[in-house]
């Protein structure tokens, strides 16, 4: 074999090797493309499944929020009249309230605030409200606010409620005498604006419900007259920043609340202080006009 023939043979061998490598690379490329398409299909399916799950969860949260609002009492048109506003800071909050006739002479009014937000807080809030509304605390005189809070504390220890607790203000108005008996457990004071212009804050000592066993809560007394207005609030109604690091003073809030014409007016005022975006906590305000 001549040198030229030998060289041609080497070239042919090199071409054959390069062709084989090209075919291998082409197979690898095709496999990569097919795998990439499979990955894209899998990602697309996962994205659709995520969207379906988010849609289902959103629908369930909406249904839960609708249920929470459905158990709130309708505003009373007869004396004492009521007006209220509940604005959760997230889809589900921990605030709730109610009022109902205990008997022909006594009306119970109450507002509670469960620590935190979300499903767990909402469930505990609804459960506690239903217990009060149905008078489902054995051996308890629901005309005695202190006794009611002590019974609630026994019924809802935080170690059995996923370490959640709640604050509450509970009052009982007696029509025949104009007496208002009340008790609170770690809750902001209610604000009583007297018809003569005086403004009273009503609260009693006591830690939140569920934090410590065997707590005794004290019942306090006040008098209400025709034309008085009582405001039950959650801390989310006034715990907003007036400036970076500075919170709205409770006395300032009480002054504004006592001159308001409606809960919606108070909410607009608090929002003007808070600025754009949701409030940092649930806003709950229940007004009773005697």
Check whether the bond before 80 is cis (ω within 30° of 0).
Answer: yes
Query: For position 156, what pLDDT does the model report?
Result: 98
Look at residue 140 and tell me whether its pLDDT is greater than 90. yes
What was the pLDDT predicted at 186? 97
**pLDDT at 4 (0 to 100):** 54
Angle between helices 119-133 and 3-70 (to 10 degrees): 20
Q: Pick from 201, 125, 202, 138: which is nearest to 170 by CA?
A: 202
Of 196, 205, 207, 206, nearest in space to 229 by CA: 196
Sign of the C-alpha dihedral computed for residues 63, 68, 71 and 76 taken in this order: negative
- The whole-model pTM stands at 0.81
Q: Which of 28-32, 89-93, 146-150 has the highest mean pLDDT?
A: 146-150
For 222, phi and psi rounded to 5 degrees?
Answer: -150, 170
pLDDT in tens, 31-71: 777 776 666 767 677 677 767 766 766 666 677 677 788 88
Say yes or no to pLDDT of 116 above 90. Answer: no
Calculate the alpha carbon distances from 286 to 36, 165, 182, 183, 204 in Å. Answer: 59, 21, 15, 16, 19
Average pLDDT over residues 18-27: 74
Tell me the pLDDT tens digit for each residue of 233-281: 999 999 999 988 899 999 999 999 999 989 999 999 999 999 888 899 9
The mean of the pLDDT values for the chain is 88
Output the pLDDT for position 114.
96
Distance, CA of 91 to CA of 270 (rounded, Å)? 20
H or E segment and range at residue 15: helix 3-70
Average pLDDT over every residue of 107-118: 94
Q: What is the pLDDT of residue 206?
A: 95
Alpha carbon of residue 258 to chain centroid: 25
Confidence (pLDDT) at 31 = 73
Q: What is the pLDDT of residue 61?
A: 64
Q: Mean pLDDT over residues 175-182, rounded?
A: 98
Tally the C-alpha atoms within 13 A of residue 169's C-alpha that lie toward its C-beta: 23
C-alpha closest to that of 168 among 103, 178, 151: 151
Q: What is the rounded (10 degree) CA torsion for 135, 62, 287, 149?
A: 30
What confidence tier does 19 reach under pLDDT thresholds 50, 70, 90? confident
CA–CA dist 265, 36 (Å, integer): 58
The pLDDT of residue 227 is: 96
Structure tokens given for 199: 């403004």
Check residue 67 and give its pLDDT. Answer: 78
- Give the three-class secondary structure for 199: strand
């Amino acid at each position: 074999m001549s040198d030229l023939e030998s060289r041609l043979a080497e070239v042919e061998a090199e071409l054959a090797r390069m062709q084989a490598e090209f075919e291998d690379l082409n197979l690898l490329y095709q496999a990569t493309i097919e795998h990439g398409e499979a990955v894209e299909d899998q990602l697309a399916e996962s994205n659709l499944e995520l969207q379906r799950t988010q849609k289902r969860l959103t629908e369930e949260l909406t249904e839960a929020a609708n249920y929470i609002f459905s158990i709130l009492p309708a505003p009373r048109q007869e004396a004492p009249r009521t007006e209220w506003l509940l604005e959760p800071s997230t889809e589900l909050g921990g605030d709730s309230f109610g009022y109902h006739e205990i008997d022909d002479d006594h009306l119970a009014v109450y507002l509670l605030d469960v620590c935190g937000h979300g499903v767990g807080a909402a469930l505990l809030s609804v459960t506690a409200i239903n217990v009060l509304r149905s008078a489902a605390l054995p051996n308890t005189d629901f005309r005695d606010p202190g006794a009611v809070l002590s019974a609630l504390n026994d019924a809802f220890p935080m170690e059995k409620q996923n370490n959640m607790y709640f604050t509450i203000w509970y009052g009982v108005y007696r029509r025949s005498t104009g007496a208002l008996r009340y008790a609170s457990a770690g809750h902001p004071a209610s604000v009583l604006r007297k018809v003569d212009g005086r403004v009273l804050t009503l609260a009693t000592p006591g830690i939140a419900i569920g934090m410590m066993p065997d707590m005794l809560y004290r019942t306090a007394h006040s008098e209400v007259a025709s034309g008085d207005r009582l405001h039950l609030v959650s801390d989310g109604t006034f715990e907003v920043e007036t400036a970076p690091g500075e919170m709205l003073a409770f006395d300032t809030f009480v002054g504004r609340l006592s001159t308001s014409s409606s809960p919606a007016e108070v909410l607009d005022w608090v929002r003007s202080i808070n600025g754009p975006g949701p409030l940092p906590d649930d806003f709950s305000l229940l007004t009773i006009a005697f």
